[in-house]
Amino acid sequence: MTSSGNLKEKTLPGIPPANLKELLLLFVGKRKRFKIEGHSMLPLLSPGEEVLVKPLDRLNAGDIGAFEHNGNVLIKCVEAYTEHGYNLVGLNEADSTNYNNVKKPIGLVVSKLG
Amino acid sequence: MITKVLTKIIKQTDAPVAFAHCDGPCGVYDPASARIAAEAVLSMSKKMEGLADSTDIHDKNNFARYANIKEEQAKLAKDEVLVLWTDYFKPEHLEKYPDLHDLIWQTTKLLSKAKQHVDPAVAQEALDNIQKIHDIFWESKGKDVAWYTAS
């Protein structure tokens, strides 16, 4: 089973600032918060920015998601989901290496914090 | 207004870091790392088997040391194979080498088994699989790199 999409042909959605509802969901544990390190998601996400992540078991091609990988958390764009896992790419081709067959999604990036 | 105040309060605490970069930006991958570790597992398995019946205290000490090395090197070999799998191999490689997924899976299972048991045959089988990964890896890069072992 494969779901994929050509990201270059897609318009990536913007990530809105966290509204009151998102902040309250963070307080009650329904959102996870991460600080971005690195440049691979420019221009959408800059180093030092913080994002809120909605926990989900399954993400789709084109989603910006958080993933567990080798003990770290990655923020990347889903290029495709295959039976072997997620193929992840950065948006900044000059400073990004792709990942294949990543198994563990944490969730979907839904908003930026402030 | 309340959103801004809440955001300021939240930002008083540090958020966990999420990496938006790679852990191997140089793109340097080589199955040799897995091969060396798997060779050590095979060597330690053989040495342990050779000391199985010894009651000499020095041999017992060496047996324990070999078990420790076998454990470490099997984990290292497994990690190296998984790094190739997650970071190097791409969907087009799977299309070209349809058995690749099963080969990687079986290799990591064998390396786990080599940790759990003292069985040179299992360690040799893991090493043989790593040779197959070596062949696929270098073919995918368009290079003719001969397989060799250090021992």
- Note the ipTM here: 0.74
Distance of alpha carbon B147 from alpha carbon B88, whole angstroms: 19
Nearest-Cα distance to chain A for B52, in Å, is 36
Contacts of B17 in chain A (CB under 8 A): 34-35, 37, 73
Distance of alpha carbon B103 from alpha carbon A52, whole angstroms: 38
Which tops the pLDDT comparison, B26 or B2? B2
**Contact A34/B15 with Cβ under 8 angstroms?**
yes
pLDDT tens, position by position, A35-58: 988 777 877 888 888 999 999 999
Where are the extended beta strands (E) located within chain B? 17-19
Q: How many beta-carbon contacts under 8 Å exist across A and B?
A: 106
Indicate the CATH number of A16-112 among 1.10.760.10, 2.10.109.10, 3.30.470.30, 3.40.50.2000: 2.10.109.10
- Would you kindly state where each structural domain of chain A is located, as residue ranges? 16-112
Per-residue pLDDT of chain A (114 residues; tens, 9 = 90+): 344 444 444 445 678 999 999 999 999 999 999 998 877 787 788 888 899 999 999 999 989 999 998 778 889 999 899 888 898 888 876 656 678 888 889 999 999 987
Q: Taking CB atoms and an 8 Å limit, are A90 and B10 in contact across chains? A: no
In the three-class reduction of DSSP (H, G, I as helix; E, B as strand; rest coil), residue A20 is classed as helix
pLDDT tens, position by position, B89-145: 888 888 899 999 999 999 999 999 999 999 999 999 999 999 999 999 999 988 889
| Identity of residue A71 | G
Domains of chain B: 29-140 (1.20.120.400)
> Tokens 């105040």, residue?
B5
| Identity of residue B39 | E
Distance of alpha carbon A34 from alpha carbon B46, whole angstroms: 48
